[in-house]
Amino acid sequence: MSSQAARLVVLVSGSGTNLQAVLDASADEAYGAEVVAVGADRDDIEGLARAGRAGVPSFVEKLSDHPARDAWDRALAARIAEYRPDLVVCAGFMKIIGAPTLAAFPVLNTHPALLPSFPGTHGVRDALAYGVRITGCTVMLADAGVDSGPIVAQEAVPVLDDDDEKTLHERIKTVERSLLVETVGRMAREGWTVTGRSVRLGRSGG
């Protein structure tokens, strides 16, 4: 792995297929980013097993091990900081990132809906229940809100007549993995600028 590669800490809460896509992409030095650690808010998840198989260090910081949310926020930021990331990537991390991490690192998040529609834990279920014909996925910078940060990239996915939450989510995730890999790679190689809510990839931001 190149010493020039951007250092990524990836946070997961579940199966970690988005993490796996980034791990696979980073095997190519030209990708420009490497996963230096994987963090989780729970034990015994496939995302942590994926880190182990890839030889990437991992850590678990559980909310229930802390007396209050702000203590967990500080502990998570400290665990992340040990790995000196250039970018933190929430890849199916089902917790809001707190102020200590947001103040220290740029944080990217991925969501299975076209924000600002259907934020939160059940983006796919909520889009189906609303009856939209097109949904998709969004890669955005995290802020203090729920899926409310500046949008970096989006891609649309049609809803099929016989979709249920599982089939639709799986089709979204196929698109989402590619979008996340492409976006993280471009951010690592080209940098980015944020002006208000507008994110531009590239050195000049133009």
Residues numbered 160 to 179 that lie near ligand GAR (CB under 6 A) are 173, 176
Dihedral sign (CA 69, 122, 60, 142): negative
Of 9, 10, 11, 16, the one binding ligand GAR (CB under 6 A) is: 16
Minimal distance, residue 131 CB to ligand GAR, in Å: 20
Of 39, 123, 136, 149, the one binding ligand GAR (CB under 6 A) is: 123
Helix (H) or strand (E) holding 23: helix 17-26
How many angstroms separate the CA atoms of 48 and 175, rounded?
22
Q: Are the CB atoms for 61 and 79 separated by under 8 Å?
A: yes
Residues numbered 33 to 62 that lie near ligand GAR (CB under 6 A) are 47
- Number of residues forming the site for ligand GAR (CB under 6 A): 17
How many angstroms separate the CA atoms of 97 and 175, rounded?
24
Which residues are registered as beta bridge partners of 7? Answer: 34
Q: Is 111 a residue of the active site? A: yes
**Residue (of 190, 46, 199, 2) closest to 108 by Cα position:** 199
Minimal distance, residue 206 CB to ligand GAR, in Å: 29
> Looking at beta carbons, which residue is closest to ligand GAR?
92
**Residue (of 17, 76, 84, 12) closest to 43 by Cα position:** 12
The answer to the question of residue 18 lying near ligand GAR (CB under 6 A) is: yes
Of 35, 51, 76, 91, the one binding ligand GAR (CB under 6 A) is: 91
Q: Would you please indicate which residues are annotated as catalytic (active-site) residues?
A: 111
By the criterion CB under 6 A, which residues form the site for ligand GAR? 12, 14-18, 47, 91-92, 94, 110-112, 121, 123, 173, 176
